[in-house]
Structure 1
Amino acid sequence: MEPLWVFVGALLAATAVHVAGQQEGFLSIDCGLDAKFNGRRDTYTDIAYVSDDPYVDGGMNHRVAAKFDVSSRSENRRTLRSFPSGIRNCYTLPTESGGKYLVRMEFFYGDYDGKTSPSFEVHLGSNYWDTFRNSDFWWSEAIFVAWGSWVPVCLVNTGGGTPFVSTVELRPLLPSLYPQVTVDESISAFARKNLGADTIYRFPDDPYDRFWEWEVSSLWANLSTKKTIQREDSFAVPIPVLQTAVAPVNNGTVLHVGTWNTYKSTFEFKFFLHFSDIQNTQLRQFDIYLNDYEWYKKYSPPYLTADYVYSTGWYKATEGTYNITLAATNRSMLPPMVNAYEVFNRIPHDTPRTSPKDFDTMMAIKLEYGVKKNWMGDPCFPANYRWSGVNCSGVTANTTRIISLDLSDSNLTGVISDNFTLLTELRYLDLSGNSLNGPVPKSLCKRSAGSLIFRYQSDEDMCNKTTISPPLSKNRTAIISISIVVPMLVVAILVVACLIWRGRRKPKISTHDPPREPELQSAPESRKSNGDQLQNTENRRFTYKELEKFTDKFQRCIGKGGFGLVYYGRLEDNAEVAVKMRSESSSHGLDEFLAEVNS
């Protein structure tokens, strides 16, 4: 194979980029930007950038060296944040669970510390994403489906120097884009090239703000058109990218698209080739090869319509070298051509993660109390980066639950948050040694009586406080005594009812009376229990409305017998009475009720 001389348009150059307004849903973080500045807009894209203070704990702000701090350089590459402390430091970005996103981190060293550019790892959640390797400038981009309300992107110190970052950018994508991406498998952009062009395209030409770097070669002939091209939806390649292409010089029959060498032998790749023929004079047909493998046979790109060819499976070369070649078939009258390509490596979600519900809850607790500690990234994984004070359960379906949380002596102030109750698998919670006040959430108290060990204050049990009531009057004490000794009261009611019945000189009551008519039984006014006899009571009749008034609409039930419920009441002269009501559902008839009273 002839040597392939490739010249790549570096993003550091101030190349022409079209300008438009901010896209909805973009989060653009200028790392190292002082929090006192109320954001700023990028000179080239007009995208609004904000300080990184709300999204990260720890780190130090820096500006690049004076020789790099020039007006021709994008402002967001003049500041950065370094992380000299801690092994893992993370930015926590807000997402919608199930949404698809592009996240990008840019790194411009700019000799900010006068040393040498470091090397360190970048993680997406708890999974390895990429490695920064002693470069002056580099960017890394991943596409993922959010598994919760937050996604952490982390810099991990591997001993190669102090990690740093210049920008962090989050872009929402349509669900239809990159259908290969799922909640269990993300992809990282290894390369994305715009062929036949001399400028970089991003937002607004690409509404998702992907970087389409230009690439040229002495082995290529550039093709271009100004005609409109019909775009497809699976990858939504920008129209300007599809309006340029490359073919072999001198109408050759073989086009060497690219050659890549990977620094990590475990990488697995997918390749995406983007086509739109801009010549319609004769047949163009070619075979596509990935290394020596015939990937696609007899392909003909459609005229002025976007199309693509991609590898359905993940491909891993034995020696870590990859090249793509297009070879014209014998029938083809035109040489092979291609407009753009993307190369992605796989981000497997092999490392378990914390249950999204628990992660979201822990983030809410962190924000409510301003917890710092090492609360960054996934709370449980990787295990050696687990959050301080957190213990987790075993792994089920690649997720784990938080079962223990120790926040003792953590300078917490305010009330005990209801968010603690959302950690439904919690078995141990220690909030002692803080300045918390207010009531303990009822569900925490309820769970502390069962499986949850809850420590709040060492000198008192806040869930089982005894409420001391003021002393009661003698009359009030008598009433409570009556209500407590329900069986004795029922016996007294029956005796009094019998006396009333025998004292009556009325005709026999018809059994056709309404079944829920209350039968009044006067209860004697209580006396001290020293052997006094029950007081004789007046034989009176009461209307139903009077009974409602005496019993406060039958609010206080003091007993239940075979005929129904017994209610407490008080007459006009403060005499206490009990009203026994025969229930419609009672298995006894009215005659039986009267017979019981008359017996």
Structure 2
Amino acid sequence: MATRLLPLIVLALSSFMIYATNMNIDCGTTTSYYTDANSIIWIGDEDLNTNGIVRTVGKDNSNSYVMDSMRVFTSLNRNCYDIPSTSGNKVFIRTSFYYGNYDGKSAPPSFLLTLDGNSWVTVETTSNTVVSHEAIWVVKGDTVSICLCQTKSGQVPFISALQVYDMDSSMYSKVSDSFTLFTAFRVSYGTDQTIRYSDDAYDRIWNPASIGTGLLVKTNDNPLSSTDLPDQPPVAVFANAITTLSISQSIQATIPVALSPVYINFYFSEVTQLDTTTDSRLFRIFMNNNSISGPISPPYGDALEMSFANLNLTSDTIFSLDATGNSTLPPIISAMEVFQVVAGLNAQTNSLDFDGLSQIFKTFSTKQQSLWGGDPCLPAPYSWDWIGCSSDTMPRVTELNVSGYGLSGSLPDFSSMTALEIIDLSDNSFSGGILDFLGTFPNLKQLNLANNQFSGPIPSSISKNNKIKFTVTGNPDVCATGSSCATLDSTPTSVGTTPTPFVVTSRKKKSNTGAIVGSIVPIFVVFWAVVGGLVVRHKRQKAAMAAVGGVGAGTGVQGSAGGVVGQKPNGNVNQNPEASPAYLLGKQFGAGVTEEIIDNQQQHQGDEQNNNHNYNNV
């Protein structure tokens, strides 16, 4: 019994992991979930991205189980991972990339990484090192979208791992939630081991710092079990610290890149119990020889965090810790974080288009999952492959093109997308009626519904709109008007912007019966009724005249075998007038024709010729 239940337990756990708050995604792995040496539980990405192909690094270049697999994206303009979240959540995100010469080309690619429709960073991968990028971001919707965009021909994007953790909203709050923090570096001083999960609940990676000459490593003789610092560094970073050999020396840190502005955290903890009667440790933080702090005295058995926001760094900026004049001990430091502060990452596609696209997404997302992800239009020019966008600061969707995407079912209502100029839904299997809203877009120029399974009448919003180039070929069950809804047959014809801007045709020719087009139907009925009445009336007139001596014999319309009574739309002459529409209609109308002869044969012949001329011009 236990054996049979195990698959169900595994399935339930896997499902839970996919929608858990904290996600560690091993991209391209063939394992549903597993726990690594750091006690991190990893899941696969099959339920998060159906596009791309799985690749693995060869044994000669192996790095770790997580990094040795990847998902490679050889198609689409942009490929995304949408991670469920909640608007207003503060999240920590890390993306990791390990090339490892998986393709044997020895050509590590570069590509663009985006975050919720905003350009994040150009990823420059290397042959044999893991490249990671981190962000602290406040979620704007109900998902976090991380996307990879190909920017150079032949350089295919890939990703090895993706991690997303919810953070306490009070963390890193020295800057407004409208700003984004991108990690420049994070180091722990005095250790030779990387510190991460489970020491750090958010799996922030604290790399061991290189120690220069003249510096000493000190071990804390009272290891911390917890801290209440606002940005919640792991207590493991306070197990060690570095200091100088003498009070006259300073601890210096050089930032090798220009960043502006930055957010910096310095972390301190006293490593030994001081005799306050004889010993003191006091120092200040300097930036390019300018003091940016007051005197700092690290606590023993506890920790201290000093944060600085909106600092501007150049590539030769130097931070230094210098003892004050009344200190008896040199400065000390345990850890440090540096972030770039980025503003303005809040742009998004117009909400009207979001609403319309969300309706399409709800209807078809399970059928073409790779089509969705991230902001529809941003960043330009990496919009979704099947839409076109304006260049506005808040762009509008101007083109919707899902031709040949294998979609089926009824169309949802996306009428809120009022900037649409082109709609191409051709070569799918859409079914149901043609919805009226499709003809109401104020800027619409082209509407292509060809080769689907639509049925029923064409709405007047389309049939009477001569601004739209409308194509509906290949939909056998579509008819011109509600009163003429029968399957129509003809050679497929594209429709242009003419006074009658549509032609309803079927995909195959089933018979030689003429197609009924637009408002021509009632004209046919009226015309043949008139002709039929005239034929009957003429026969009676002729019979009456014969009875009074054959007046007018040999002139006018000939008998049933000789005259052209009616012509089919395909040009064939009716050889049997009694089977023609004119004759049948004539029989019906003939009963109401008076016996009185009021027209002569010449006038009647002229009327019939005019009617035939008018029909041929219809």
TM-score range, shorter chain: 0.5 to 0.7
Aligned to 1:206: 200
Aligned to 2:59: 66
Aligned to 1:236: 232
Alignment check: 8 A CA contact 1:61 1:79 kept: yes
SS, match of residue 61 in structure 2 = coil
Which of 86, 110, 130 is the aligned partner of 1:119?
Answer: 110
Which of 327, 330, 343 is the aligned partner of 2:325?
Answer: 330
Aligned-pair Cα RMSD in Å: 3.5
1:305 Cα deviation from its structure 2 partner:
2.9
1:143 and 2:143 equivalent? Answer: no
1:95 and 2:85 equivalent? Answer: yes
SS, match of residue 164 in structure 2 = strand
TM-score (structure 1 length as normaliser):
0.64
Aligned to 1:167: 161
Aligned to 1:307: 304
Q: How many residues align?
A: 432
Alignment check: 8 A CA contact 1:144 1:181 kept: no
Could you list the per-position Cα deviations for residues 233-259 of structure 1 after superposition, in whole angstroms to 9, with x for gaps in the alignment?
5201111222322211x2344343422
1:404 Cα deviation from its structure 2 partner:
4.5
Gapped regions of structure 2 (runs ≥ 5): 1-15, 461-480, 486-618
1:139 Cα deviation from its structure 2 partner:
1.2
SS, match of residue 102 in structure 2 = coil
Aligned to 1:42: 35
Could you list the per-position Cα deviations for residues 14-34 of structure 1 after superposition, in whole angstroms to 9, with x for gaps in the alignment?
xxxxxxx98951122111223
Counterpart amino acid of residue 251 in structure 1: S
1:381-530 counterparts in 2 under 5 A? 381-392=378-389, 395=392, 399-402=394-397, 404-418=399-413, 420=414, 423=417, 429-438=423-432, 445=436, 448-449=439-440, 451=442, 455=447, 457=449, 461=457, 466=482
Alignment check: 8 A CA contact 2:222 2:301 kept: no
Which of 170, 179, 186 is the aligned partner of 1:185?
Answer: 179
Alignment check: 8 A CA contact 2:387 2:400 kept: yes
1:204 Cα deviation from its structure 2 partner:
2.0
Alignment check: 8 A CA contact 2:182 2:342 kept: yes
Query: Which 10-residue stretch deviates more, 283-292 or 50-59?
Result: 50-59
Counterpart amino acid of residue 244 in structure 1: N
CA 1:57 to 1:451, structure 2 compared with 1: closer, same or farther past 3 Å? same
TM-score (structure 2 length as normaliser):
0.62
1:373 Cα deviation from its structure 2 partner:
7.3
Aligned to 1:152: 145
Aligned to 2:368: 371
Could you list the per-position Cα deviations for residues 441-495 of structure 1 after superposition, in whole angstroms to 9, with x for gaps in the alignment?
xxx74685574859585775465674899xxxxxxxxxxxxxxxxxxxxxxxxxx
Counterpart amino acid of residue 93 in structure 1: I
Alignment check: 8 A CA contact 1:274 1:308 kept: yes
Query: Which 10-residue stretch deviates more, 409-418 or 154-163?
Result: 154-163
Gapped regions of structure 1 (runs ≥ 5): 1-20, 470-599
CA 1:271 to 1:450, structure 2 compared with 1: closer, same or farther past 3 Å? closer
Which of 115, 120, 127 is the aligned partner of 1:129?
Answer: 120
CA distance in structure 2 between the aligned counterparts of 1:392 and 1:116, rounded to whole angstroms: 33
1:363 Cα deviation from its structure 2 partner:
5.8
Query: Which 10-residue stretch deviates more, 430-439 or 205-214?
Result: 430-439
Counterpart amino acid of residue 126 in structure 1: G
Could you list the per-position Cα deviations for residues 145-193 of structure 1 after superposition, in whole angstroms to 9, with x for gaps in the alignment?
1112233323344438433221111111111111145554211111111
Alignment check: 8 A CA contact 1:106 1:166 kept: yes
- For CA contacts below 8 A with separation 6 or more, give which structure has more relative contact order: 1
1:245 and 2:241 equivalent? Answer: yes
Counterpart amino acid of residue 189 in structure 1: T
> Identity across aligned pairs (percent)?
27
1:353 and 2:343 equivalent? Answer: no
CA 1:207 to 1:155, structure 2 compared with 1: closer, same or farther past 3 Å? same
1:215 Cα deviation from its structure 2 partner:
2.1
1:107 and 2:97 equivalent? Answer: yes
